[in-house]
Structures are given as structure tokens and as C-alpha cells.
Structure 1
Amino acid sequence: MMEKINIFLKDITESGGGERVCINLANAFSKKYEVEIFSFYKSFEQPAYELYKNIKISYLSNQNFYHANKIKKIFLKTFYRYFLSLLIILKFKNAKNEILLANDGYFLPFFKNKKLKYFRIWHIKAPKKKKKIFDYFDTLIILSAKELDKWQEWHKNIQVIPNFLPFASSKTSNLSQKVVLSAGRMDKGDQKGFLRLIDIWEIIQKDENFKEWKLHIIGDGLLKEEILHKIQAKKLEHSIILLPFNKNIEKEYLKASIYVMTSHFEGFGMVLAESASYTIPSIAFDINTGPSDIIDNKKSGFLIEDGNLQEFANKLKILMQDESLREKFGKNAKEKVQKEFSKEVIMKKWNKIASF
């Protein structure tokens, strides 16, 4: 029987999907196990999301990854990461009956204590080929069964466990406000596809029927300036509102009538499940994993061929002009996520693999 779960990640103080999943898991595990979070870096003073008081946080360094320059980031992601991994290995060399859960790629257990179990969550799509680091872990947890066959070729113990909704909100959007919402970290690589979302919104705004609608984009990151410049260049400042990340995102969901995801890739797409919990219908590109696990096409939202901006805009217009369809899709969306992604359903799967 495992007695303690140790969770490792890059930076618990950053506001991203992986960090939120980590904290949700830690809070859920803490009802049954002793839980400690090990954060490789510390860019801000406090964790980005609410953490239960019985969970200990250990910062392995006070290095600020978020504001580091390019050369320093290379150092932190290579040599320094290996050094910190070695410190962790030494710390746990005599431990037993504990799980070491890597929430991202920063902890590398290249030497293992056989009395411990080593898990790794893989938040994004499967890589093109097997990585050596897979062999460091006893179990790999993936978020979608869509690439299960590929994963099983690379590792003998693959578990499919989606992310869960951390709360069951009784509140719902009335779906009558002329607001489209999108949220996510604004990384340099534009994983969330905010730049192409602006192109889609430009198509929308050429139609006089939708001039009163607003697009709210929530997020922070190194790409934010480029996003702002593109909005200004296309003269869309009047209809696109950039909002900073804040812990109380519920109020933004309650203002929205449609949620849009334009990501180039996702592991799961937690914001789609969250928006569905407020009865908000969604539109997303049908990328390899993520949206199709959550959206039932033409039942709770629309899935669009990846890269087809015009079709995305067309389907968005359909929802924008039809409140009754939004209500129908939103009701179906909420029912699906409550049935498949509730904390109770997902934690049964986690407790099963943690209790061996």
C-alpha cells in the first residue's frame, strides 16, 4: 500500500493547464494520501491555483524560469535540470512505499529505487518516435485512448486516465450575451492558436450581423505582445478584448455564450470540459487528441477540419445567430462532462493504480 505521493513539475507558480492538473490531482490525492509537490523553479511568489493547506510544497530552486533569457533557459532545461533530478534521486534513495509522479518532463529518474513506483503523465500528443525517457518510468499515463496502440508499442504499462473537472458548478451561462471566449497560455510557439483565432475573428467581423459580438481572450505569456500587435494591425481592438489570467475564471465563463479552441495540438483540452460544465457549447479544430474526446460533433458543439479557418468561421456564425441551438448544445455538453469527466469517476482510476 502506497503511503505518500510526490508530484514533480517545472514550476507550480506558473498558470497553465499542466500546473492546474497537477494541483487538482494533489488536492484530490490529499484526501487519502500524504502529498508533497516538488517544483523545480519558482517564477512567482505563490502557486497559480488554490492548493489545500495539508499539501507541502518544496521548491528545488528559486530560479525564475518565466523571465529568464534564452541562454539561461537552455541552461535551466539541460544541465540544471539534470542536477536537480540527481538531488531528488539521492533524497529518495532509502524511501519506500511512495509514488513519484512526474507531471512534465523535468524530473528524470535515471536511477531508480525499486521500493518506489515512478509514474509520468503525458499531457500532449504522442511524439513521432519513442523517447528514451519512457523507460525511466514504471507507468505512463496518457489522457486519450486515441493513440493507445502507438503508446503500447513503446511501453509495457500504459494507463488512459483523462483529466477531471475539479468542481461541479451549479451555475450556468444564460447564453444570451454576445461574447465568445477563449483561454490559454500565450507561449511563443502559439500552441493555443491565438494568432489564427484572430484571423477567424476578422472573417466574422466582416459580416455586419455580428458587429455587436466580442471575443474575449484570457491569458498571459511571451506571445501576448505579438497577439496585441496583430489585433491592432487588423483594426480589431473594438471587438477583441485581451484579459489577464486570474484565478476566478468562473465569472468569465458565465459571461460567455460560446467557447472556441484553435489549438494546434492538445493532450486533453481541459478548458473545453470546464466551459461545458457551465452549459457553454464549443467549437474546436479536430486535432489529433483533445477536442474530439470532449465535443460530440453537431451534438454539443462543432469539430472543424484542422486549419480550415473559413469553415470554423461559418460554424461560429451558426451558433452566434441561434440561441436555441446554443442552449441545446450546451445542455448536451454539460451532461457529457458530468458523466465522463467528474472527479469521482476519474479518481477511481487513479486510486486503482496508486493502491497496488
Structure 2
Amino acid sequence: MKRKTIVFIVPSLKAGGAERVVSTLANQLVVTYNVIIVVLYRCIPFYFLNERIKVVFCQDIYNESPTFFESINNHYYLIKSCKNVIKNYQADVIIGFTTIANIYSIILSKILKIPAIISERIHPKYGSISKFWKIVRRLTYPTVNALVIQTNDIKSYFKKYINPSKLFIINNPISVELSGLRDLNATREDRIICVGRLEAQKNQELLIRAFSKIPSNSWELILIGDGKLKTKYINLAKSLNVSNIVFLGSIKNISHYYNTSKIFVLPSNYEGFPNALIEAMYFGVACIATDCPSGPSDIIINNKNGFLIPTNDQNALKNKLEKLINTPNLQEQFGEESLKSSTLFETKPIVQKWEKLIDFVCS
């Protein structure tokens, strides 16, 4: 039987949640399918990609503030570039990740008369896209073959205007490359970690302020990730006179910090389905997360395998941090329960769901 060819369309392959999921899926799906990743803007891929995966870049530079006519021309060029790749490789299905790439995928699906699967990565009610793109999303999404989301909360949002039979809940997988580096015998240090882009959505400011209020604090807080607010957060830590905060930026050896840290915190204002949280739990780290829309409440059972706190509640975060810091037995309990519950996010069963969906839309 002829191998099917799938084309992913993504804005970037830099460090990030959607990028990690695409890389993980592509590395597994290339066993069964021909896999091409069309990346809208040139970058150096941050995550490992199997050498059998073909990566094609559409455009060298991202213009952050185009004029109206530049924007129209840019979208036309990108859609045309994606179309040429899809035709050249005779793709059987298009898979879009993130809103703009999803809309491109739907348009190209109609033009080329091949099925499309799209995937939202953040709760659509709280995402930062413009009113124009929200309207276009509302018009185009109902016509797609399948929309993959991560939680029932997001499904409830979309089923108001999309046929529920087109909505599929598939959780994010933990990459094989990362899971293979788990070391349950590693020595854990008095360290709190937070992994994510340094942007308002992730709300690391809440964690920095809560951490600064813990008295006689000999613990270290490490923020892993880059973003527009990095300088602001560095200055905030200085203004709070907190010296034991380290800003590592985006790093390759994140497994070292999952293996050797005692506490992980997700302070986000909103999410889709937080990769970093399931990764930390898979490594047995005791976790605290805001009960934000959406994802954390699907992953953490409060007081059993972690703590859920109200969004943007600095005092609640401080109290839970103090409780975990001062109760080693609770750290171990949360870690052990996390190991059990996070097996749901191992790669194989999640990739099998994607394979089943791909075969379904192509049938």
C-alpha cells in the first residue's frame, strides 16, 4: 500500500509548546507516513527532528508591524508557497497548528480538494489574535474535516458553531526524546522551576512576587524560557531584592532540571494544554498550577497529585509554596502520584489517536 503523505503547516519551529508537539508527532508519524513540515518563517528548529522529515521554509523574515497592503501581500505569498509545497509532494492531508496556520490549511484544503486537520493550542476565548482573525476563524473552522483540541472546556467553546462530530480531544504527548532522559534516582535539590515563554500569558510575575515573600528562603527559583518580558522580570527581581532567581533562557537540557528540582510551578493566566506541566509530572516533580482555562484541572487532582490555586492569587501561591518547601513528605507524595497520572500522556497511545484520525479523514 502506498504511504500517505502528510504536510504540517506551522508558523515556527522555535522553542515552544506547539513546536514541541509538532516535532514529537512528526518524529513518530514518519514511521508510517511521508512527513513534510512547512514552516512559515525561517528559523533553526529547536527540537530534534528525524532526518526523514522534510522541512520547508516559506519566508526568511517575520515583519512584526506590516502595513495593511504588506499584510495582504504577505498572506497571499505564504498561502501560495504552502500550496506549491503541498502540490509538489502530492499530500494526502494537511495538518495545521495554531490559528493562522489553521486558516491557511482550510483555504488550501478547499483549493486543492484534500482533507485538513487543524489544531488549536490555546483556549480560543483568551488568545491574543485580532478581531479580524476571530471573524475569519468563525467563518472557516466549521468547514474543516477535523479540529483537534485538548480539553472538554475548549470543546464546549467550539461546539457552539462547529459540528461536534468534527471535534476530537487528543492530549499533547511527552516526546520520546525527553521521556527517555527521566532519571528517578537523581538527587533533587532545593529548587523551584518554571518553564514557559516570558510573556504576560504565562504570568511569571506572580511567581517572582510570591517567591520574594517567603521568609528565610534558601531555595533557588529558576525560570526557563525567553520572551519579551525577560528584562522586566530581571528588573523586578532586583527591585524586590531577591538574588536567588536565575533566568536560564531556552535550553536543550531541560531534563536535568526536571530530574533534579523539587517543585514546579505553572502560574499562567490561560493555557490550552500545558506541555511543561505534564512533563514535570512525568519526571515526578511536585507541582503547583493555577486553575486557569484550560488544562491544569484536567491534569492535577487538587491535594492528591499537586496543588491547584486560583488564577493570579499571589497569596495562595506563596502559601502553597511554603507548604511544599516545609513538607518533604508532601513533595514525595505529589511526585509519586504525578508519575502514575502522567502515563496518560506517553507518546505511543496519543500518536495512535492521530494515526486513526488521519486515516479517518483520508478515507
Counterpart of 1:324? Answer: 329
Counterpart of 2:130? Answer: none
Using the alignment, how far apart are the partners of 2:318 and 2:187 within structure 1? Answer: 19
1:182 and 2:176 matched: no
Counterpart of 1:163? Answer: 172
Using the alignment, how far apart are the partners of 1:149 and 1:35 within structure 2? Answer: 31
2:38–2:57 CA contact under 8 A, matched in 1: yes
2:38–2:82 CA contact under 8 A, matched in 1: no
SS in 2 for 1:119: strand
Counterpart of 1:30? Answer: 30
* Counterparts of residues 61-80 of structure 1 (less than 5 Å): 61-63=59-61, 65=62, 70-72=64-66, 79-80=73-74
Q: 1:333 to 1:166 in 2, by over 3 A?
A: same
1:110–1:136 CA contact under 8 A, matched in 2: no
Q: Which moved more, 1:137-146 or 1:264-273?
A: 137-146
Q: 1:122 to 1:102 in 2, by over 3 A?
A: same
C-alpha deviation, 1:126, in angstroms: 2.9
Q: Which moved more, 1:292-301 or 1:134-143?
A: 134-143
SS in 2 for 1:274: helix
Q: 1:161 to 1:76 in 2, by over 3 A?
A: farther
C-alpha deviation, 1:317, in angstroms: 0.8
Q: 1:93 to 1:244 in 2, by over 3 A?
A: closer
SS in 1 for 2:95: strand
Match of 1:52 among 50, 53, 61: 50
Match of 2:250, as an amino acid? F
Counterpart of 2:345? Answer: 341
C-alpha deviation, 1:183, in angstroms: 1.1
**Cα RMSD over matched residues?**
2.3
TM-score, scaled to structure 1: 0.89
1:227 and 2:233 matched: yes
- Flag as ranges the 4+ runs of structure 1 deviating above 6 A: 73-77
SS in 1 for 2:41: coil
Counterpart of 1:191? Answer: 201
Counterpart of 1:99? Answer: 93
1:173–1:255 CA contact under 8 A, matched in 2: no
Match of 2:138, as an amino acid? K
Using the alignment, how far apart are the partners of 2:220 and 2:339 within structure 1? Answer: 24
1:175–1:258 CA contact under 8 A, matched in 2: no
Q: 1:233 to 1:334 in 2, by over 3 A?
A: same
**Unaligned regions of 5+ residues in structure 1, if any?**
none
Q: 1:186 to 1:177 in 2, by over 3 A?
A: same
2:267–2:289 CA contact under 8 A, matched in 1: yes
Using the alignment, how far apart are the partners of 1:20 and 1:73 within structure 2? Answer: 31
Match of 2:107 among 104, 107, 110: 110
**Unaligned regions of 5+ residues in structure 2, if any?**
127-133
C-alpha deviation, 1:113, in angstroms: 4.2
Counterpart of 1:84? Answer: 78
Match of 2:245 among 233, 240, 265: 240
Alpha-carbon displacement from aligned partner over 1:31-75 (angstroms, at most 9, x marks no partner):
110000001101x4x201110100000001111x3xx5x424988
C-alpha deviation, 1:171, in angstroms: 1.0
2:198–2:228 CA contact under 8 A, matched in 1: yes
Using the alignment, how far apart are the partners of 2:203 and 2:323 within structure 1? Answer: 21
The structure with more helix, counted as a fraction of residues: 2
Using the alignment, how far apart are the partners of 2:72 and 2:171 within structure 1? Answer: 29
Q: 1:308 to 1:76 in 2, by over 3 A?
A: farther
Match of 2:8, as an amino acid? I
Q: 1:97 to 1:242 in 2, by over 3 A?
A: closer
C-alpha deviation, 1:149, in angstroms: 2.7
Using the alignment, how far apart are the partners of 1:136 and 1:231 within structure 2? Answer: 48
C-alpha deviation, 1:135, in angstroms: 3.5
Counterpart of 1:216? Answer: 222
1:163–1:268 CA contact under 8 A, matched in 2: yes
1:125 and 2:123 matched: yes
C-alpha deviation, 1:197, in angstroms: 1.5
C-alpha deviation, 1:115, in angstroms: 4.2
SS in 2 for 1:164: coil
Q: 1:346 to 1:328 in 2, by over 3 A?
A: same
1:146 and 2:153 matched: yes
Match of 1:126, as an amino acid? P
SS in 2 for 1:153: coil
Match of 2:12, as an amino acid? D
C-alpha deviation, 1:175, in angstroms: 6.6
Q: 1:78 to 1:9 in 2, by over 3 A?
A: farther
C-alpha deviation, 1:281, in angstroms: 1.3
C-alpha deviation, 1:148, in angstroms: 2.0
1:313 and 2:328 matched: no
Q: Which moved more, 1:281-290 or 1:149-158?
A: 149-158
Alpha-carbon displacement from aligned partner over 1:212-270 (angstroms, at most 9, x marks no partner):
1110001112211111111111111x211111211111111122100001011110011
Match of 2:92, as an amino acid? E
1:253–1:275 CA contact under 8 A, matched in 2: yes
TM-score, scaled to structure 2: 0.87
SS in 2 for 1:221: coil
* Counterparts of residues 266-281 of structure 1 (less than 5 Å): 266-281=271-286
Match of 1:334, as an amino acid? L
Counterpart of 1:353? Answer: 357
